[in-house]
Amino acid sequence: MTVYDQHMHTLFSPDSSETFEEYLKHSPGVLVTTEHLDFNDRFREGKDTLLDYEQYSATIDQLNESYPNRIRKGIEIGYTKESYERIQNYLTGKEFDVQLLSVHQTNEYDFLQPIVKEKDVQDVMDEYFPLLLEAVTRFPTANVLAHFDYGIRLFNVSVAELQGHQTILKQVLQKVIDKQMAFELNTRSMYQYGNVALYEQMIDWYVALGGKSVSLGSDAHSTDYYGYHFEDAIALLEKYGISSVTVFEKQQPTQLPLSKMKKSN
């Protein structure tokens, strides 16, 4: 099974200490890392989490000599209202194969911090989903909408509760389609945080709106989670008649058939 995992982190992200070499040993195929960019990172007392692009590119260029062209460059853009300009400035002049777009935090807290758990889930959804819509509206260059459920990971949201927000969620999905982005199946969200049913509901809406482009990402921060539960996610996609995932090189999409990622291959 040759996994193409389009969402993972190495030691170029502050919350991971995994090396490229470990991932390269672990999986035989193309490796794309999607490192964090979070200005005013609430998990780091407001310090900016900036990918050291020079060092990152130099490391990848060097490794691509020993592991011929196996590594691609990626970034996970953490959107906030306040950091919009700084994100744009950071991205100017830098080349990535894939840009993920995420909403992790407000100006006050990250949605995985304990303070969020004390809030009413409806209030959290009313705050988080509009931020998601704003992010996909304002970031035309991004390729993948990552973990749409990040803001509600701390809650047990039912499908019925999610359906209560379907107007805005369908607007988000429509933007993903209009901007030719891919919708991410985040397998840690699905199988670690238990949000499979929410993803099924989103895919159902997405397909009904005409969405075809999906991305598979584990959000691994170590090799233990690389390609996490991909077989299950692939089976789920096939149920919806989706037979390939969208992968990006120099931000250009191509389709990778799911059959290539199955055990027999």
Interacting residues toward Zn ion by CB under 5 A: 76, 102, 219
Determine the angle formed by the axes of helices 230-239 and 196-208, rounding to 10 degrees: 40
Q: Two tokens at 236?
A: 């789920």
In the complex, least distance from residue 188 CB atom to Zn ion, rounded to whole angstroms: 9
Residue 30 vs 41, nearer CB to Zn ion: 41
Comparing CB distances to Zn ion, the nearer of 9 and 165 is: 9
Q: Least CB distance from residue 66 to Zn ion, whole Å?
A: 26
For residue 9, give both structure tokens. 């982190």
Our CB check for Zn ion shows the closer of 108 and 238 to be 108
Nearest-5° angle of CA 5, CA 21, CA 3? 20
Looking at the Cβ atoms of 102 and 213, the one nearer to Zn ion is 102
Give the nearest distance from C-beta 249 to Zn ion in angstroms: 20
User: Least distance to Zn ion from the beta carbon of 110, Å?
Assistant: 10
In whole angstroms, give the CA distance from residue 58 to residue 138.
30
Cα–Cα distance measured from residue 53 to residue 59, given in angstroms and rounded to the nearest whole number = 10
Of 171, 250, 158, 229, residue with least CA distance to 205: 171
How is residue 227 written in tokens? 């390609």
For the chain, counts of helices (H) and of strands (E)? 10, 9
Q: Which is nearer to Zn ion, 149 or 219 (CB)?
A: 219
- Residue 12 CB, nearest distance to Zn ion (Å)? 12
> Are 16 and 221 spatial neighbours (Cβ–Cβ below 8 Å)?
yes
Minimum distance from residue 117 beta carbon to Zn ion (Å): 18
Question: Could you give the maximum distance between any two Cα atoms of the chain, in Å?
Answer: 52
Which of 203, 220 has the CB closer to Zn ion? 220
Residue placing its CB nearer to Zn ion in the complex, 93 or 246: 246
User: At its nearest, how many Å lie between Zn ion and the CB of residue 160?
Assistant: 26
Residue 253 exposed, middle or buried by CB count within 10 Å (0-12, 13-18, 19+): middle
Report which DSSP code applies to 36: E
The Cα–Cα gap between 186 and 219 comes to: 7
